[in-house]
């Protein structure tokens, strides 16, 4: 071998050796620095998009590998209640599956905290007339009446005992957030006149927390209402933990945040990777990256003992379908989001950030993630990031909600450009994972094209004659919707239960199908 070649190879081997040593030192350094958060949790929302148990275990293992030590499971109707069986829905797991999953998580040294809503967000319970006497309002089933202490104590003692039978966690999350109907009914108004809204709220939540304590559990409560009405906060047992959820706003967004800090209760913090106004057609990637980068360091400064990443499949607000004035047939979530299967990028951003509690540099993180998971160079990574963050604006009544002067047509063009970039990128690794980004981009572009038709139909120039020109457009969109349905099913077939995939596809295309059936008859009428 020529001497110059030997020298070249020696230099290459030396560089590789130095790289390996540096990586090892870096790894040991990171591993040797403990996270500032004792509880490192991930919240799994099963109100809709119920996952197959195999997918749930895979998610748990993935999170365990990234340093998560706690899952908070919002089972809702997917939980197989033993006594109050009417609450469980068609996607409910078997009790043996729940126990097996929890045992699996324990084998990974992961705690599983059940989340049993007990105040607001209880539509899945109150829609059954068996529980009608607990409703704060006859037609809004979102909240129990907090003056019905004895009846609520009886029901939620049963439900929380049931959860305690299957979950060995020292904690139970009792919800308590977004009680929008607080003080709504006449009985509540009379009590508010005596003890105020804070007294109404905390009298009830104390009763719920006392049940948890009697079961040997520490109650976990969302903190928004406590911050809003803090006067009676000290009614709660000392074991109570508050979760301060903040998705990118000022600390005083709900009220005087200092009152929570002064209360003396243990506090965990919670950012989000899916939250309002995200929906099936929009994911605000930059908002969530900023939330992770900003709020996690704030939590560290405030000495929060735990952190919980929330990931909402829906906002928890429902539209009720009635057969008669007081007989509900179904509840549909007002907002749906792309399944958790498409958010490994944000999940890893979170698990990376909580290792140190320091601000996360979005650009550097995405660049590193793209290299590690997709084999992208810096150029490809920059293109990916630009496509991901391009024009993340919502549309309301045909108007783009943007700081810039942007038309719906311009927004649609931006969505098309993002989709083209993602199609051109060729990942060397994890090609299936990458398809989720393209799927989301295609759904967004598809939906904006539907909105363009809807906007035209709502214009003053729309008539029976002009309706005909939309027929070819709607037919093409209908064909595209079938292609997207198939792709969505292929990507998520091993992730979601089959019925959930069918429902997702049906509801995602509801607007298109409504427009289609409105316009198509005009073709026959105008021949």
Residue range(s) of every CATH 3.20.20.80 domain in the chain: 33-353
Q: Which helix (H) or strand (E) holds 47?
A: none
Distances from the Cα of 58 to the Cα of 9, 52, 264, angstroms: 42, 10, 37
188, 145 Cβ separation under 8 angstroms: yes
Angle at 392 between CA 388 and CA 395, to 5 degrees: 145
Per-residue pLDDT of the chain (527 residues; tens, 9 = 90+): 555 444 444 444 443 343 343 333 333 334 456 899 999 999 999 999 999 999 999 999 999 999 999 999 999 999 999 999 999 999 999 999 999 999 999 999 999 999 999 999 999 999 999 999 999 998 899 999 999 999 999 999 999 999 999 999 999 999 999 999 999 999 999 999 999 999 999 999 999 999 999 999 999 999 999 999 999 999 999 999 999 999 999 999 999 999 999 999 999 999 999 998 899 899 999 999 999 999 999 999 999 999 999 999 988 888 888 888 778 888 888 889 999 999 999 999 999 999 999 999 999 999 999 999 999 999 999 999 999 999 899 999 999 999 889 999 999 999 999 999 999 999 999 999 999 999 999 999 999 999 999 999 999 988 877 888 889 999 999 999 999 999 999 999 999 999 999 999 999 999 999 999 988 876 555 55
Q: Are 485 and 505 in contact (CB under 8 A)?
A: yes
- The pTM (predicted TM-score) of the whole model is 0.91
Domain 33-353 has CATH 3.20.20.80: yes
CA dihedral of residues 433, 437, 439, 440 (deg, nearest 10): 140
Give the CA distances from residue 120 to residues 139, 222, 241, 268, 473, in Å, rounded to whole numbers and listed in that order: 14, 11, 18, 20, 43
């Amino acid at each position: 071998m020529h001497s110059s070649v030997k020298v070249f190879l020696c230099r290459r081997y030396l560089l590789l050796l130095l790289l390996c040593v540096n990586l090892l030192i870096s790894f040991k350094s990171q591993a040797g620095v403990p996270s500032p958060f004792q509880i490192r949790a991930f919240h799994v929302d099963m109100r809709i998009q119920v996952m197959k148990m195999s997918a749930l275990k895979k998610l748990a293992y993935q999170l365990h590998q990234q340093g998560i030590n706690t899952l908070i499971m919002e089972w809702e109707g997917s939980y197989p209640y033993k006594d109050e069986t009417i609450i469980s829905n068609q996607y409910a797991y078997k009790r043996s599956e729940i126990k097996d999953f929890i045992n699996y998580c324990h084998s990974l040294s992961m705690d599983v905290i059940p989340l049993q809503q007990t105040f607001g967000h209880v539509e899945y319970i109150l829609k059954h007339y068996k529980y009608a006497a607990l409703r704060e309002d006859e037609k809004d089933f979102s909240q129990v009446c907090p003056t019905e202490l004895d009846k609520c104590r009886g029901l939620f003692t049963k439900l929380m005992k049931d959860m305690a039978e299957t979950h060995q966690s020292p904690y139970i999350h009792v919800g308590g957030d977004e009680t929008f109907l607080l003080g709504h009914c006449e009985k509540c108004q009379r009590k508010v006149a005596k003890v105020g809204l804070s007294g109404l709220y905390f009298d009830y939540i104390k009763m719920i927390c006392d049940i948890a304590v009697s079961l040997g559990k520490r109650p976990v409560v969302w903190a928004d209402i406590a911050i809003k009405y803090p006067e009676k906060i000290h009614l709660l047992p000392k074991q109570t933990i508050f979760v301060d959820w903040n998705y990118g706003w000022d600390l005083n967004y709900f009220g005087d945040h200092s009152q929570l800090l002064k209360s003396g209760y243990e506090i965990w913090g919670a950012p989000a990777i899916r939250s309002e106004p995200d929906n099936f057609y929009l994911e605000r990637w930059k908002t969530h990256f900023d939330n992770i980068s900003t709020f996690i360091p704030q939590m560290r400064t405030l000495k929060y003992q735990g952190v919980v990443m929330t990931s909402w499949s829906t906002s928890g607000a429902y539209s009720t379908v009635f057969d008669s004035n007081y007989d509900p047939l179904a509840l549909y979530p007002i907002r749906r989001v792309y399944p958790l299967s498409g958010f490994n990028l944000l999940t890893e951003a979170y698990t990376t950030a909580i290792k140190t509690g320091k601000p996360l540099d979005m650009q550097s993180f995405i660049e590193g993630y793209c290299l590690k998971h997709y084999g992208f160079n810096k150029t490809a990574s920059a293109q990916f990031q630009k496509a991901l963050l391009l024009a993340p604006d919502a549309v309301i009544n045909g108007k783009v909600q943007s700081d810039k002067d942007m038309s719906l047509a311009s927004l649609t063009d931006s969505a098309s450009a993002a989709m083209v970039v993602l199609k051109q990128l060729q990942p060397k690794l994890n090609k299936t994972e990458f398809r989720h980004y393209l799927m989301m981009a295609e759904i967004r572009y598809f939906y904006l094209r539907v909105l363009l038709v809807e906007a035209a139909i709502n214009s003053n120039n729309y008539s029976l004659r002009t309706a005909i020109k939309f027929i070819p457009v709607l037919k093409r969109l209908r064909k595209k919707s079938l292609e997207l349905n198939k792709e969505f099913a292929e990507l998520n077939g091993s992730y979601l239960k089959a019925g959930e995939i069918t429902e997702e596809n049906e509801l995602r295309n509801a607007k298109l199908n409504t427009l289609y059936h409105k316009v198509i008859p005009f073709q026959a009428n105008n021949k």
